[in-house]
Structure 1
Amino acid sequence: MISKARAILDDGFLVGLAFALFLAGKIVPFLLVVGVLPIALFWMKSDYAKPAGLLARFLLPTIGYLAFCLLLLYAYPGLQPGETPPNNPDLELYAVAFALLAVGFLRGQQIRNLSNRFHIVMPWALLAAFAVLSIYMFLGWDGCRVQVAASWPFIPAIIFTTLTFLLLLGWQGRSTRQRFFRLALITLSIIVTVAYTGSRGVAVGQFAVLAALILCRGIRSLRNGLPTMPQLGLAIGAGLALCVAVGTATGCNSFGRWHAVINVADILQPAPSTASTLPETELEPVLVSDSVPSSIPSSTPAQSNDASISLRLDMWRASLDAIRQAPLFGHGALSLRPIIQDPFGFEHNHNQYLAWLVTGGIVLLVIGLFFLSTPALISSGLAPADRVIVILSVTGLWGVSMIFDAFLSLDFYLHYFSLLLGFLFALITDMAKSQRPQNG
């Protein structure tokens, strides 16, 4: 009876990882039951003993990054005396990230045969999540950019795509049916990213990963552990064709938003103009003051028919101006308030690397890159093809996507990424254990 209840809680935790893509923060009560409570209940029946070197490769980049951000928050805030601090970042942002990192780390290691359970439960959980997104899309409940209970449409896109790519692990040992299911999920992930959510930044990361998988297929040692080029090509082609079908059925032209991205070279050409009233965009606005700090030069508005891209380019120019003034240590943890939030009305500058450079300089950028590279550091025990999949699924996808959004500067994204890293450690160690006899 106890073992059956434990199995239900284990599978529930895996389902929660998937359903967070449309429930976002509303998944927390469920995760408390299936994630936090079992840690206490089954603590004595779990094995957390791991090699010191492996633990160090996990703990140093993760704990180190969060601890440094906390230190920066209090030791180097970067605000003038009496200046109102922004809502984000704050103590809660990093405290919750610490907690979720621990939950993923501990709870993942409690699940027996984690890799096997992941590959059994996760495909069906993603299929159910896709059904929910489809209902919202075709009934028009969220307009042309589905987010359900999430704050932004990028959340379903980045999580669905991440988990889909991770399901390619162990490709060499999959049956024909299992391979077809995973290729079908890649097709669905393209629909989610392009047609359902219109997340261009995530889509760029998604197609970059797919291109990298195709290129890696040419390496002899990786060949048997990755899908073939025709298989990936078929999945991509089917996904794009279905995106067109979705657009026709719903009246949402998802490809219309890509014109500005394709012509980004023209957009980047400097052209003098005066500031104009900015139309409502896909970015997440916050209430701010109207003052612009004199220390940061005002940027020239980008010339683009796409307001979202124009705003990003303007914020990136302002960020680069700020970085030139303090390249090594940046302007402080809260300095995005006067540099970005006051003049532009957004909490961050929509580029994670520029956000790190502005707030903590080159020092924070290096620490942040180590944090982002945690999957590469902890996956050395896997077969080469599986290690490539882990790195591309997380570091590659999130890394490219964060050229266009500062995900790790926002609460839900940082919290989910921390939970994912803890879970990924457990998944990788479980896979490495099963591969060890084969790799001798």
Structure 2
Amino acid sequence: MLHPIRTPGTVELSLTLVDDEVIREVNAEFRGVDAPTDVLSFEMGSDEGEDDSPKARRVQVLGDILISLDTAARQAEERRHALEQELRVLLVHGLLHLLGHDHEEGPVEAAAMADLERQVLAALGWRGPGLIGLAEADRPAGGAQEPSPGALGAGRLSPSLAAPSPRATATPGPRDIRLIALDMDGTLLDGTSSVLSSSADAIRAALARGVHVVLATGKARPAAQAALRATGIAELASAAAPGIFLQGLLVYGQGGLLLASAALDPAVVQAAFEYSDAHGGSLCAFLGDECLTTRLTPELMELHTRYHEPLPFLAALAGTGAETMQALPNMLEIVPRGWNKWASLQHLLADLKLDARHLMAVGDGGNDLAMIRGAGLGVAMGNAVPEVLQAADLVVPGHDDHGVAHAIRAALGEP
């Protein structure tokens, strides 16, 4: 929670945007570090003789925040997001320092401040993690690392900065990713619905490091098994493996144990079939590892030939009740309300005794949005829809350009 501001009324702070030269001199003068940084915060102390009039007491002066535009621009480019987003992240980080939070005091305070950064950004309508979360994602595995002097500059104290206790961005430890959840279509599978060898190699490297790698897909499990059959990573879709299928409606834990499942109300299924019959649309109902339809169409044949789904049996279903989601522009899916990949991943995290901060989720479609927002590290493929790109902590190349391998290397702290 935020440290309380004890004086009621208006809150005021000073924000100064400078270059690397200026912030370097300020950093050297107040912190003894002769190098630029991204953000410095100066708390306003309670000096003797300060104005204690009723008017002054109505204004709580927090202090000063100094941000280097040069460093912010470099970090924005490295993190593959807009300069505006980087400046928002730095502003929130500096503000929390002014309110008394300090990640340099230890891992507990660092974790609490990271959570607050995410909460404040979300409350302001700004997506993504805060500076601590981004810095953790930037760091290689293997412990603490000093800032690189080659990335730094030099300068002079801003006239508005007269307070004595600046704080700057520290170097948090590496992100502790223990579970990687991979979407399939548009993510693990390339444009030809195949797995790139670079992706398979990266997955095997993660497994060798003891990291859990699971599928989080809209596919039925037999479709995932067919897609991975000749890849060398077919064990990800085996009956003994943990995984999330049918948009999260089937959740398997360790040893392939079914953790949770959901089904549509029969009235909704019936209404969907009636609508399909009346309008001539293609409709396929998934029932565990099987799928059924009343009429084979070219679209359903493509599900089988291109996306590896089982060929539907000719049958009729009754049903009712839920919401829609869309993984592909020409395909609408009906699922029980409240069930999605993120809801199912929480069952799997509990089974593995892991926290969401240990999870990296990788995807591209609207059906991946919730898990990317909820994961400790949400990764969007370069070919992702705009909403997913905006929500992600990290954007990697597309599914045809080794994006999964890039994402897994980031999780493992490898270049």
TM-score by length of 2: 0.27
Instruction: Tell me: higher relative CO, structure 1 or 2? Use CA pairs within 8 A at least 6 residues apart.
Output: 1
> Which has the larger helix fraction?
1
Structure with bigger gyration radius: 2
